[in-house]
Structure 1
Amino acid sequence: MNAHILVVDDDQEIRDLLDEYLTKSGYQVSTVKDGVELKAQLQHAYPDLILLDVMLPGDDGFTLCQQIRRDSDVPIIMLTAVSDDTDQIIGLEIGADDYIAKPFSPRHLIARIKAVLRRSQKNHQRTEDVLVNAVPKSIVFGDWRLDTLAHKLTHLDNQQQHDLSGSDFTLLMLFLSRPNEVLDRDTISVATRGREALPFERGIDVQLSRLRQRLGDSGKYPSYIKTMRGNGYILSVPVNYEH
């Protein structure tokens, strides 16, 4: 089945043009004008990719991107009329997969869509391959147990639980599969985003900070993920796999 693309833009002319061009390119297309219609659409089903305009009435694209990322790893390409590196960095930090400044050529847009969809499919395939290859049902590391099927963390002492988003689970599994090994930014970015890290990109730092806060620390394990300056990051606690 052809990939389903959801276009979110408050400009009727742009929605119509994108609908026409993407449909001719073989995609299934839906269009909405704002965050209210977007949320209503997502209650029924998630598309394969979202083209999300930054400047929208009500909640802007950045806010909507953050909200979507709480529940889903659906690929998101941000669209903006402002060619500003700061906006691009913000978009990538909050979980967007790519960023295109208006005006853009249709061919350029299609190329970016294909690249993002290809990366997304590869990431899903890697996850399926890992599951097929007998991933342990749970992994104990430090004070935590990870349920690899439910994507749930449970603290061994106080039984505190956390549900992990897809991106946070992928990041944690990367460290758990390679404990006591220094992982550089490109390795982390390829595993979680399907591409090497961009210059000055802080999205990895944001995601690592979120995971570190989730894991916390204790007297026995004062630091789960250590920063190795100039080299990368390392998971520095004992890891045991339970099949």
Structure 2
Amino acid sequence: MTQARVLVVEDEVKIAQLLREYLEKAGFAVDALARGDQAVEWVRRHNPDAVLLDLMLPGMEGTDVCRELRQFSQVPILMITARSEEIDRLLGLELGADDYICKPFSPREVVARVKAVLRRSQLKPAEGSALKIGPLHLGRETRRVCVADQPVDLTPTEFALLQVLMSRPERVFTRDELLMQVQGYDYAGYDRTIDSHVKNLRKKLGYHGIDDAIGSVYGVGYRFQLPEPPQPHP
């Protein structure tokens, strides 16, 4: 079985070594870079299975690296930083990161998060091979989403979120339910994570003309809204 390959982009040598040690013990192949401006081309050339990306890096900040990676790759990205303010978390997630880990962290937790995001990106299809609602088509086996045959590029987390919502149209999911079903673990009360992923998903679907598919239920969560049937002319 081929080892999953993880790229660690971290300029603090001790932290990079610690992450490498724990990830390799968990069975991953690990590469490490210390500069942000090296990461984009490296990912383009080597196509890793996941990226652990520090926010504050020499050469190019992690947010800019994340933004550039999302121009051509949907590789799972986990951002790591000492900046724990909510605005920093939301910025990273809205740029397309799949997860966010604050320093100081437990190396075992990082390994668990990497495993969780890889499970989401490699999930086997559940019952049925596809979901189709109106022009929106989600292929469970192909892991492709299309609107009227036009592909929509989603991160693994966005794909998992859309799959959960489309599987039960009109059913209201709380943020906690979505966190558990999409992320696979509890975020210790940080439920704004789901809000950021929903915002990104709405933006991408809206670009293809699907503007109102994901509805908000104030104080509760989200649901996938079936399109209104056309009204007969009087």
Q: TM-score range by the shorter chain?
A: 0.7 to 0.9
Gaps of 5+ in 1: none
Number of matched residues? 219
Give the CA RMSD over aligned residues: 3.4
Please name the residue that 2:41 is paired with: 40
Indicate the percent of aligned positions where both proteins have the same amino acid. Answer: 24
4+ residue runs over 6 A deviation: none
Amino acid at match of 2:101: Y
Partner of 2:67, secondary structure, is helix
Alignment of 1:166-205 (within 5 A): 166-205=156-195
| Whole-angstrom distance in 1 between the partners of 2:181 and 2:220 | 17
Contact 2:120-2:157 at 8 Å conserved across structures: no
Inter-CA distance 182–69: structure 2 relative to 1 (3 Å threshold): same
| Whole-angstrom distance in 2 between the partners of 1:226 and 1:56 | 37
| Whole-angstrom distance in 2 between the partners of 1:145 and 1:89 | 27
Q: By how many angstroms is 1:172 displaced? A: 1.9
Q: Deviations over 1:138-175 (max 9, x none)?
A: 6132xx231523624224xxx7x342313333222222
Tell me which of the two structures has the higher relative contact order, counting C-alpha pairs closer than 8 angstroms and 6 or more residues apart.
Answer: 1
Scaled by the length of structure 2, the TM-score of the pair is: 0.74
Amino acid at match of 1:154: V
Pick from 135, 139, 154 the counterpart of residue 129 of structure 2: 135
Q: By how many angstroms is 1:36 displaced? A: 2.8
Gaps of 5+ in 2: 229-234
Amino acid at match of 2:112: A
Q: Deviations over 1:104-129 (max 9, x none)?
A: 6xxx22x122211331344245x314
1:145 pairs with 2:136: yes
Which of these two proteins has the greater Rg computed from alpha carbons? 1
| Whole-angstrom distance in 1 between the partners of 2:110 and 2:219 | 33
Alignment of 1:4-153 (within 5 A): 4-11=5-12, 13-14=13-14, 17-18=17-18, 21-22=21-22, 25=25, 27-70=28-71, 71-80=73-82, 82=83, 84-94=85-95, 95-102=97-104, 108-109=106-107, 111-124=108-121, 127-130=123-126, 133-136=127-130, 139-141=132-134, 144-148=135-139, 149=142, 151-153=144-146
Amino acid at match of 1:21: E
